[in-house]
């Protein structure tokens, strides 16, 4: 069986990516946040089985939580520890200034905190890259698709011209 290629994030190996987020939102700013995980969840992340496709970050009593991220429990640890909910809210670790800034942006309206990726940094600590995004409407999404297609066609034409 072939080995998976390692993808690298801001400083380490990417475990899960939310590719749809950049299509659905204008990402204006990104933040790197720590995540409070149980040991079995870290092992499951290292194995590469997780999904953040439908997840988001939300404020609860002045703290940020990652909601609806699916991190299944590690099979070998399930027998020793109690069963944990794979979609439980997980606390995000940020500086107070960053949390306040994000809360103000969300309170202004139209902004959402979307996880872009989960990765392990150089020290081996699980991190979440959050994007402060404003939702796109249907026309914006069409324009994004057109731009992407044009860039692909342009690159194809340029490479074809260089071969001749």
pLDDT of residue 115: 92
Tell me which residue range forms the domain holding 94.
Answer: 13-136
Question: Residue 163: inside a domain, yes or no?
Answer: no
Question: Residue 33: inside a domain, yes or no?
Answer: yes
pLDDT single digits (tens) 61-83: 888 898 988 888 877 765 666 66
- What is the domain-level CATH number for residue 69? 2.40.280.10
Q: Does the structure show a pLDDT above 50 at 101?
A: yes
Question: Residue 125: inside a domain, yes or no?
Answer: yes
Question: Residue 3: inside a domain, yes or no?
Answer: no
Tokens of 83: 């069963």
E-strand ranges in 40-160 read 56-60, 63-67, 90-93, 111-120, 126-135
Q: Report the distance separating Cα 34 and Cα 52, nearest Å.
A: 15
Tell me, yes or no, if the pTM score tops 0.85: no
Compute the mean pLDDT over every residue in the chain, rounded to the nearest whole number: 81
pLDDT single digits (tens) 133-155: 888 787 877 888 888 888 888 88
Q: Report the distance separating Cα 77 and Cα 15, nearest Å.
A: 20
Largest Cα–Cα distance of the chain, in whole Å? 64
Q: Does the structure show a pLDDT above 60 at 6?
A: no
Question: Residue 159: inside a domain, yes or no?
Answer: no
Q: How many domains does the chain have?
A: 1
């Amino acid at each position: 069986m072939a080995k998976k290629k390692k993808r690298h994030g801001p400083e380490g190996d990417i475990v899960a990516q939310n590719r749809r987020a950049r299509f659905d939102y204008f990402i204006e700013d990104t933040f790197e946040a720590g995540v409070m995980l149980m040991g079995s969840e870290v092992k499951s992340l290292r194995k590469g089985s997780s999904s953040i496709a439908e997840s988001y970050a939300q404020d609860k009593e002045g703290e940020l939580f990652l909601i609806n991220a699916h991190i299944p429990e590690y099979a070998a640890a399930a027998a020793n520890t109690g069963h944990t909910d794979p979609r439980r809210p997980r606390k995000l670790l940020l500086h107070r200034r960053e949390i306040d800034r994000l809360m103000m942006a969300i309170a202004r309206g139209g902004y959402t905190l979307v996880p872009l990726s989960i990765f392990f940094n150089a020290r081996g600590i699980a991190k979440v890259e959050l994007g402060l995004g404003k939702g796109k409407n249907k026309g914006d999404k069409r324009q994004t698709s057109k731009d992407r297609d044009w860039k692909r066609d342009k690159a194809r034409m340029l490479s074809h011209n260089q071969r001749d």
